[in-house]
Amino acid sequence: MLNEKSRECLIFLFFFMISTSFWLLQTLKNNFETELSIPVKLKNIPADVVVTSDPVTEIKVTIKDKGTVLLNYMLGKSFIPITLDFAEYKNRGSHVIIYRNEFEKKILNQLSVSSKLINVKPDNLDYIYSIGKFKRVPVKLRGNIIVGRQYYISDTLYSPSYVLVYAPSKILDTITAAYTQSINLNDVTDTVRLRASIYKIKGAKFVPNTVDVRFPVDVVTEKTVFVPLKGVNFPPDKMLRTFPSKVKVIFQVGLARFKSISADDFILNVSYEELLKNGSDKYKIKIKSLPAGVNHVRIVPDQVDFLIEQVAAYGY
């Protein structure tokens, strides 16, 4: 059995619910505005056509009507997609723009007679396509990778390293590479592997649109080799002598390549023409070729004394 206090509470709740229902029904008779979504689909795309932009997949419509009608839209009504037939617009060029007055009727046909269409977003629908036009471009990095002290990135590896890009000729001609979305890393001390999306260009479609990127990280160490100076383009009766004949080349290299790099990988050629124009008996050494992965190269000494020696003719 309920006590008197509980009965009073139940009676209050009963009348409160009845009054709330009357208030709600009365309120729903008033006009309101609400925003609804209607899907958009593009159909009948030929096999040789590639849509290179991201077509609109839904539009937002603002509708004004009585609350009861709007409540039906929100809770019970499913809108039929606004379907765009590729064949109807193929004569408009590679960038098709479909204006609001061309598809507004498809919206109104799904609304109650009493409903008023206040706004449509976006106001126009558009898409860009290419017919069989594409090229192969290399993948390149956008961003900045900062390694920790005594580390360095020995390479940047992409898989795949090339992608296909589809676009109308005017856009395709301007694309020379597929850049990743910006990648920024700090204090990297170990090899990094990640998947990166290709940076989008309006009117272009990249296939694939993601790549795997690897940044091999190695420990930096220092190595020293002794490299001889070699004369090139000297006449048969002349030869080069330098003092010293070899110089010390000090450089930084990753630990993984430390053993594989030797003095033979460095070329310190001295041309006859350079020495004739030198105007001094000292020559400032220039490195003609460096092996990959070598950094912060120092030469000791960085200049040498030299002598162009006359060679006795053969047989004399």
Cite the beta strand spans of 198-302 per DSSP E. Answer: 205-207, 210-215, 217-228, 230-232, 238-243, 246-254, 269-271, 282-284, 295-300
The set of residues, in sequence order, having a beta carbon less than 8 Å from that of 216 and lying 6+ positions away, is 153, 154, 155, 157, 191
Look at residue 316 in the predicted model and tell me its pLDDT. 46
For residue 282, the model assigns a pLDDT of 87
Domains of the chain plus CATH, in order, are 22-131 (2.170.120), 134-215 (2.170.120.40), 220-310 (2.170.120.30)
Confidence (pLDDT) at 28: 46
Locate tokens 């193929």: which residue? 90
DSSP state of 92: G
Position 299 scores a pLDDT of 92
Round to whole Å and give the CA distance between 162 and 234: 45
DSSP-assigned beta bridge partners for residue 241? 307
Core vs surface per residue 156-166: b (16+ CB within 10 A) or e: bebeeeebebb
**Cβ contact 221:254 at 8 Å:** yes
How confident is the prediction along the chain (316 residues), in pLDDT tens digits per residue?
A: 556 656 556 655 655 566 554 444 555 456 778 888 999 999 998 867 888 888 889 999 998 888 777 777 777 667 889 999 999 988 888 899 999 999 999 999 988 888 888 999 999 999 998 887 889 999 999 999 998 888 888 789 999 999 999 988 888 999 999 999 999 999 988 899 999 999 999 888 899 999 999 999 888 888 999 999 888 889 988 888 889 999 999 998 888 888 889 998 998 888 888 888 887 888 888 887 788 878 889 999 988 988 888 887 554 4
In the prediction, which pLDDT does 41 show?
Answer: 93
Backbone angles phi, psi at 256, to 5 degrees: -65, -25
